[in-house]
């Protein structure tokens, strides 16, 4: 009886567990299937045991309901799990939350997940999931949070989304197509994050219906169009960010009036016009709310202040950098006393820095670099006691560096480079013990390197380049233990390099170039593990190049050119697999080129010119696929040019001149399709010039003079390089552009063959004569007379033609790269080698060509007329002209200067032609092309462009319809200004043009007096 009772009680107690295990069997199998697909390096799921009484509710990361013990949550974040997600997760019918973030799950999101009808939150961010967004996800009607950020998902979002979702984060994937307009139907949405995808099209105006939306993030897509003013209806909006798109137009002022808006971030777009005052000053009955405004890298031209003197604002961060805002600095901004960061760098501001800046007492960062501010640094800046960063670089500020800056002890960053400061360091700078970065480059500062600077032990960056400092570099410079970048270049320092530089263990960049330093390279520098850049060119350093360089594994730039280094090139340099630039030109280095340099597979520039190197050119150099410049000229190299050099497919410049190379020119050089410069002059090369070298379309400079080449110059090369000096002093070379025709050479060869035949026939004849002399003595005198008569026969005059002789240097053309990463070879190809059908216009300043690049970009290339204009002056004038930027002027985007007098200017392409064309069309269409409102806008644009030129002290002098061009929006742009200083005008328009413009358009005083005026 007792045993039966015990058995009954045991059965009664165990029955709930048995029934629960049976009930959860499907969930156990689903989770077991989930585990079997995964790689679990940490063993996080080792405790998942199906045999436990409470399985799966007692498993790690599994949460169950207290009412029915069914699985409601799966939380396994940041456990290094990887593998696909199983379809059997759909068997977790009571699942409300799944969090698998910060793992390495891959594969696609199971479409069966949409069967978990009770799901409220899905966190799958920071994995490697791919594929598209499951179409059935809209069935999850209880879902409020969906976070799929930082995966590899792609495709268009065409279907509906869960109707009650509040937080939607699809950022950092590869979704594309239009932003779904159906998002506007999700009335509960509070957060939308679509940043870092490839969405295109416009921002849907229907977003204005989202009354509960607080965060709208659309950064770094390819969105275009304008900002919809309907966004001003999003009354709950707190943070709006759409950086890194191609949005245009103006910012609707109503957006700044949103009552709860705190952050507006629209940098890196094409927004233009006026920045609305509502972004700075409160214009509503609500309390001011905007704290951060980021509008950098746009096309804004004006900032308008409030109508009254008062500006109610709580703004803390204002970024207007890299726009086109001109005029004097808006003084009303100094009344926004809540500012902690103000950045107006890269604009067109002029005049003096207003003293009212001192009112911004909370300011921590003040950045006014790259404008045209003049005068001195106002003393009132010292009232900004919280200032951490001061950047005034790239202006025209003058006078001495203010001493009060040394009393702003909280400064961490000070940049005053590229101004007109003079004098010496203020002694007060010793107080800047928190300073981490100091840039005083490109001024007129003098004196020795002061101890005040060397004592700033927190410095990580020190740039004093391009000043007039002199004396020795003190040993105490080794006390800058935290220095990472040290640039003292282009000063007048002398003496030896201090050995204490070897104490700077964090040093990454060392630039002491263009000085008068002497002595040997300190061996202590070979122990700096982080050194990446060594620039010591143009000094008087001597001794051998250190073997220890090979231990500096981070080195990628080494320039020791124009010194007096001797010895051999260390073979240990081959250990530097990250080396990009190695320049040892103009030294006294001997020996051979180490073949092991072929191991430096990242090498792009190898310059060994003007040394005493001997031996052959190593074929191992052909293992350098990134090599762009190879300069071995001015040495004693012998042997043949390696045919394998064509494997350096990136080569743009090859200098082998002034050596003792022999053999023929390899045909394989024609495979260097990117080659721009080829100089093989002053060697002992023989044979003919390979005709396929003319197939290198990018080639602009070619020189094979002073060799032993023979045969006819290929027509394709002779026509492209019509300067005889490129082929001169090759005795047997003929054809254009040399004066010696190949017919003359053929005639000379025929005469040589005739002489050989005559000599060969004369030898047996002489033997016969001798026989007759000895056999017929009585006729000796007569025969002698006959023999003497033969000897007196006239000899053939040798003929020859000397090639044209002209002076030439061994250097190639000066390449000035385009600012937007366009290569010259691409430009030549884009204009079809400056073909006639690509000509857009002609003027006294040369031809303008249309250039269509392979990536779809279209530019205008002006080729200035031939004529001598000194290269440095051209370059200086072109760089000045490139700074003249206005919405109604054609902006110079780049330039090129090369031999003999090739000058190119690069402008934006204007697809709607010139005003002259539009006027002609209007005359044939009863004025419908140009109505009076449009003519009024064009006239205003021309007037604005002229006014800006006059404020920049420039005179156009030739304003005519042909010089007014139109962009895609029919915005007027004045062209052909500032070219008088860049080219010598051609006489093609002599009958209609003057030195100051075209008759009929030029002012009368310019014609009569020869003077231009405004």
Say if residue 798's pLDDT is above 80: no
Query: Is residue 710 domain-shared with residue 678, that is, in the same domain?
Result: yes
pLDDT at residue number 692: 92
Q: Mean per-residue pLDDT for 474-494?
A: 94
Q: Mean per-residue pLDDT for 421-434?
A: 92
Say if residue 981's pLDDT is above 80: no
**Structural domain for 858, as ranges:** 824-1009
CA distances from 843 to 741, 919, 987, 988 (A): 37, 19, 10, 8
pLDDT at residue number 551: 83
Dig out the tokens for 507 from the structure.
């040093």
Query: Is residue 975 domain-shared with residue 837, that is, in the same domain?
Result: yes
Higher local confidence (pLDDT), 994 or 516: 516
- E strands in 656-748: 662-663, 677-679, 684-687, 701-703, 708-712, 732-734
With cut-offs at 50, 70 and 90, classify the pLDDT of residue 977.
confident
* CB neighbourhood size of 722 (10 A): 11
pLDDT at residue number 11: 42
The total domain count for the chain is: 2
Q: Report the alpha-carbon distance of residue 289 to residue 256 in Å, rounded.
A: 9
Where does a domain end: 788, 812, 836?
Answer: 812
Q: Is residue 585 part of a domain?
A: no
User: What is the pLDDT of the chain when averaged over all its residues?
Assistant: 85
Dig out the tokens for 528 from the structure.
């700096």
What does the pLDDT look like over 889-912, one tens digit per residue? 998 888 887 765 678 889 989 998
Sort strands 121-123 and 145-147 into parallel, antiparallel or unpaired.
parallel
pLDDT at residue number 986: 47
Name the H helices within 24-123: 25-36
Give yes or no for a cis peptide into 56 (omega within 30° of 0): yes
pLDDT at residue number 1013: 59
With cut-offs at 50, 70 and 90, classify the pLDDT of residue 311.
confident
CA-closest candidate to residue 963, choices 978, 950, 985, 947: 978
Judge contact between 513 and 489, C-beta under 8 A. Answer: yes
pLDDT at residue number 518: 95
Query: Is residue 843 domain-shared with residue 807, that is, in the same domain?
Result: no
Query: If DSSP codes are grouped into helix, strand and coil, which group holds residue 547?
Result: helix
Query: Is residue 953 domain-shared with residue 993, that is, in the same domain?
Result: yes
Dig out the tokens for 169 from the structure.
């984060």
Q: Mean per-residue pLDDT for 537-561?
A: 90
Query: If DSSP codes are grouped into helix, strand and coil, which group holds residue 903?
Result: strand
pLDDT at residue number 812: 40
Percent of the chain residues past pLDDT 90, beyond the cut: 61
**Radius of gyration of the chain from its Cα atoms, rounded to whole angstroms:** 39
Q: For residue 168, what is the enclosing H or E element?
A: strand 167-169
Query: Is residue 893 domain-shared with residue 923, that is, in the same domain?
Result: yes
Say if residue 948's pLDDT is above 70: yes
Where does a domain end: 765, 785, 812?
Answer: 812
pLDDT at residue number 548: 80
Give yes or no for a cis peptide into 85 (omega within 30° of 0): no
Higher local confidence (pLDDT), 684 or 864: 684
Location of structure tokens 């099209």: 201
Say if residue 18's pLDDT is above 60: no
Q: Report the alpha-carbon distance of residue 584 to residue 558 in Å, rounded.
A: 8
What does the pLDDT look like over 266-294, one tens digit per residue? 999 999 999 999 998 887 778 889 999 99
Higher local confidence (pLDDT), 713 or 822: 713
Query: Is residue 729 domain-shared with residue 830, that is, in the same domain?
Result: no
> 195-214 burial string, b = 16+ CB within 10 Å, else e?
bbbebbeebbbebbbbeebb
Query: Is residue 848 domain-shared with residue 805, that is, in the same domain?
Result: no
CA-closest candidate to residue 325, choices 728, 885, 720: 885
Q: Mean per-residue pLDDT for 688-704?
A: 92
pLDDT at residue number 281: 86
Query: Is residue 883 domain-shared with residue 988, that is, in the same domain?
Result: yes
Say if residue 399's pLDDT is above 80: yes
Q: What is the 3-state secondary structure (H, E, C) of 70-94?
A: CEEEEECCCCCCEEECCHHHHHCCC
DSSP state of 953: T
Query: Is residue 736 domain-shared with residue 830, that is, in the same domain?
Result: no
Q: What is the 3-state secondary structure (H, E, C) of 565-576?
A: EEECCCHHHHHC
**Weakest-pLDDT range from 57-71, 435-449, 544-558:** 544-558
pLDDT at residue number 321: 96
What does the pLDDT look like over 446-481, one tens digit per residue? 999 888 888 899 999 999 999 999 999 999 999 999
Q: Is residue 861 part of a domain?
A: yes
Query: Is residue 843 domain-shared with residue 937, that is, in the same domain?
Result: yes
Dig out the tokens for 827 from the structure.
């430009």
DSSP characters for 759-774? HHHHHHHHHHHHHHHH
CA-closest candidate to residue 872, choices 895, 845, 848, 841: 895
pLDDT at residue number 777: 45
Say if residue 787's pLDDT is above 50: no
Give yes or no for a cis peptide into 513 (omega within 30° of 0): no
Contacts of 808 (CB under 8 A, 6+ apart): 681, 703, 705, 723, 725, 726
Judge contact between 659 and 637, C-beta under 8 A. Answer: yes
pLDDT at residue number 394: 96
Secondary-structure breakdown of the chain: helix, strand, coil percentages, each rounded to the nearest 5: 25, 25, 50
Say if residue 12's pLDDT is above 60: no
Say if residue 27's pLDDT is above 60: yes
Percent of the chain residues past pLDDT 70, beyond the cut: 85
Q: Mean per-residue pLDDT for 545-574?
A: 90
Query: Is residue 687 domain-shared with residue 739, that is, in the same domain?
Result: yes
pLDDT at residue number 918: 84
Q: Mean per-residue pLDDT for 549-568?
A: 91
Q: Is residue 992 part of a domain?
A: yes
pLDDT at residue number 602: 93
Where does a domain end: 784, 812, 840?
Answer: 812
For the domain that residue 994 is a member of, what is the CATH number?
Answer: 1.10.510.10
Q: Report the alpha-carbon distance of residue 507 to residue 527 in Å, rounded.
A: 11
Q: Report the alpha-carbon distance of residue 35 to residue 29 in Å, rounded.
A: 10
Q: Which residues are catalytic?
A: 958
- The number of residues making up the chain comes to 1014
Dig out the tokens for 420 from the structure.
């007109």
Judge contact between 305 and 332, C-beta under 8 A. Answer: yes
With cut-offs at 50, 70 and 90, classify the pLDDT of residue 999.
low
Query: If DSSP codes are grouped into helix, strand and coil, which group holds residue 712?
Result: strand
Q: Report the alpha-carbon distance of residue 184 to residue 164 in Å, rounded.
A: 12
Q: Is residue 4 part of a domain?
A: no
Higher local confidence (pLDDT), 58 or 932: 58
Q: Is residue 336 part of a domain?
A: no
Q: Is residue 141 part of a domain?
A: no
Judge contact between 364 and 386, C-beta under 8 A. Answer: yes
Query: If DSSP codes are grouped into helix, strand and coil, which group holds residue 785?
Result: helix
Judge contact between 732 and 707, C-beta under 8 A. Answer: no
Judge contact between 376 and 402, C-beta under 8 A. Answer: yes
Q: Is residue 324 part of a domain?
A: no
pLDDT at residue number 1008: 52
Query: Is residue 714 domain-shared with residue 854, that is, in the same domain?
Result: no
Q: Report the alpha-carbon distance of residue 209 to residue 655 in Å, rounded.
A: 66
pLDDT at residue number 746: 46
Helix (H) and strand (E) counts in the chain: 11, 65
Q: Is residue 885 part of a domain?
A: yes
């Amino acid at each position: 009886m007792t045993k039966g009772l015990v058995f009954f009680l045991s059965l009664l107690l165990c029955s709930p567990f048995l029934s629960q295990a049976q009930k959860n069997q499907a969930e156990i199998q689903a989770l077991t299937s989930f585990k079997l697909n995964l790689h679990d390096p940490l063993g996080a799921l080792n405790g998942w045991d199906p045999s436990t009484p409470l399985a799966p509710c007692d498993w790690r990361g599994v949460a169950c309901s207290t009412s029915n013990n069914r699985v409601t949550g799966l939380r396994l974040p940041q456990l290094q799990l990887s593998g696909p997600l199983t379809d059997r997760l759909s068997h977790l019918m009571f699942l409300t939350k799944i969090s698998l973030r910060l793992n390495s799950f891959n594969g696609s999101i199971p479409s069966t997940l949409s069967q978990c009808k009770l799901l409220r939150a899905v966190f799958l961010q920071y994995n490697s999931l791919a594929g598209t967004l499951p179409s059935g996800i809209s069935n999850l009607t209880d879902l409020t949070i969906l976070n799929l950020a930082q995966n590899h998902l792609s495709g268009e979002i065409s279907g509906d989304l869960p109707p009650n979702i509040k937080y939607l984060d699809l950022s950092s994937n590869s979704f594309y197509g239009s932003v779904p307009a159906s998002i506007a139907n999700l009335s509960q949405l509070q957060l939308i994050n679509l940043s870092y995808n490839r969405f295109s099209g416009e921002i849907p105006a229907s977003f204005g219906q989202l009354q509960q939306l607080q965060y709208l993030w659309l950064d770094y897509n390819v969105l275009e169009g304008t900002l919809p003013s309907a966004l001003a209806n999003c009354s709950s909006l707190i943070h709006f960010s759409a950086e890194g798109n191609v949005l245009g137009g103006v910012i609707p002022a109503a957006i700044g009036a949103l009552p709860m808006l705190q952050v507006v971030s629209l940098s890196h777009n094409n927004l233009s016009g006026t920045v609305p005052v509502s972004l700075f000053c409160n214009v509503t009955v609500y309390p001011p709310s905007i704290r951060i405004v980021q509008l950098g890298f746009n096309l804004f031209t004006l900032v308008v202040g409030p109508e009254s003197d008062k500006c109610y604002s709580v703004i803390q961060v204002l970024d207007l950098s890299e726009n086109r805002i001109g005029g004097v600095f808006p003084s009303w901004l100094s009344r926004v006393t809540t500012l902690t960061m103000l950045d107006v760098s890269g604009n067109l501001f002029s005049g003096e820095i207003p003293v009212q800046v001192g009112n911004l007492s909370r300011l921590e960062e003040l950045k006014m670099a790259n404008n045209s501010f003049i005068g001195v640094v106002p003393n009132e800046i010292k009232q900004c006691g919280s200032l951490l960063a001061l950047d005034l670089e790239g202006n025209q500020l003058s006078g001495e560096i203010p001493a009060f800056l040394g009393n702003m002890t909280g400064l961490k960053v000070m940049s005053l480079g590229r101004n007109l400061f003079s004098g010496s360091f203020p002694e007060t700078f010793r107080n800047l013990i928190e300073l981490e970065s100091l840039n005083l480059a490109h001024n007129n500062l003098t004196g020795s390197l002061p101890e005040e600077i060397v004592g700033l032990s927190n410095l990580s960056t020190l740039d004093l380049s391009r000043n007039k400092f002199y004396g020795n570099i003190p040993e105490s410079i080794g006390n800058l233990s935290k220095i990472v970048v040290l640039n003292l270049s282009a000063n007048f320092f002398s003496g030896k390099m201090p050995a204490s530089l070897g104490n700077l263990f964090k040093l990454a960049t060392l630039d002491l170039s263009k000085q008068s330093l002497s002595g040997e390279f300190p061996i202590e520098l070979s122990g700096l593990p982080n050194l990446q850049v060594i620039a010591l060119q143009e000094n008087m350093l001597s001794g051998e190049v250190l073997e220890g360089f090979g231990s500096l594994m981070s080195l990628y730039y080494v320039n020791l050119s124009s010194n007096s280094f001797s010895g051999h090139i260390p073979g240990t340099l081959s250990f530097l697999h990250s080396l990009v630039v190695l320049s040892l030109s103009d030294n006294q280095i001997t020996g051979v080129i180490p073949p092991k340099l072929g191991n430096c597979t990242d090498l792009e520039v190898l310059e060994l010119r003007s040394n005493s190197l001997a031996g052959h050119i190593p074929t191992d150099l052909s293992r350098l696929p990134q090599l762009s410049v190879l300069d071995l000229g001015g040495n004693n190299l012998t042997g043949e040019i390696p045919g394998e050099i064509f494997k350096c497919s990136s080569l743009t410049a090859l200098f082998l001149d002034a050596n003792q190379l022999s053999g023929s020119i390899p045909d394989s050089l024609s495979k260097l399709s990117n080659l721009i410069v080829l100089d093989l002059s002053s060697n002992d090369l023989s044979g003919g010039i390979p005709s396929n070298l003319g197939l290198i379309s990018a080639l602009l400079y070619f020189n094979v003079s002073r060799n032993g080449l023979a045969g006819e110059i290929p027509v394709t090369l002779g026509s492209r390089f019509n300067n005889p000096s490129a082929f001169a002093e090759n005795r047997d070379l003929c054809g254009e552009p040399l004066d010696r025709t190949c017919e003359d050479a053929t005639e000379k060869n025929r005469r040589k063959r005739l002489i050989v035949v005559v000599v060969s026939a004369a030898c047996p004849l002489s033997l016969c004569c001798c026989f007759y002399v000895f056999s017929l003595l009585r006729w000796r005198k007569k025969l002698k007379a006959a023999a003497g008569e033969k000897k007196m026969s006239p000899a053939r005059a040798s003929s020859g033609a000397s090639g044209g002789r002209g002076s030439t240097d061994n250097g190639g053309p000066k390449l000035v790269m385009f600012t937007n990463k366009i290569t010259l070879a691409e430009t030549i190809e884009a204009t079809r080698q400056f073909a006639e059908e690509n000509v857009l216009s002609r003027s006294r300043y040369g031809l303008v060509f249309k250039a269509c690049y392979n990536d779809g970009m279209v530019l205008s290339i002006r080729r200035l007329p031939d004529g001598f204009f000194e290269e440095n002056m051209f370059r200086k004038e072109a760089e000045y002209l490139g700074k003249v930027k206005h919405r109604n002027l054609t902006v110079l985007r780049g330039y090129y200067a090369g031999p003999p007098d090739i000058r190119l200017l690069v402008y934006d392409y204007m697809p709607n032609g010139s005003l002259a064309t539009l006027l002609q069309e209007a005359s044939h269409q009863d004025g419908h092309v140009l109505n009076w409102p449009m003519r009024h806008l064009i006239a205003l644009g021309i007037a604005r462009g002229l006014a800006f030129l006059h404020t920049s002290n420039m005179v156009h002098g030739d304003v005519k319809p042909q010089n007014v061009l139109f962009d895609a929006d029919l915005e007027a742009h004045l062209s052909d200004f500032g070219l008088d200083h860049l080219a010598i005008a051609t006489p093609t328009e002599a009958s209609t043009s003057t030195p100051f413009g075209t008759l009929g358009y030029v002012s009368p005083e310019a014609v009569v007096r020869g003077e231009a005026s405004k």
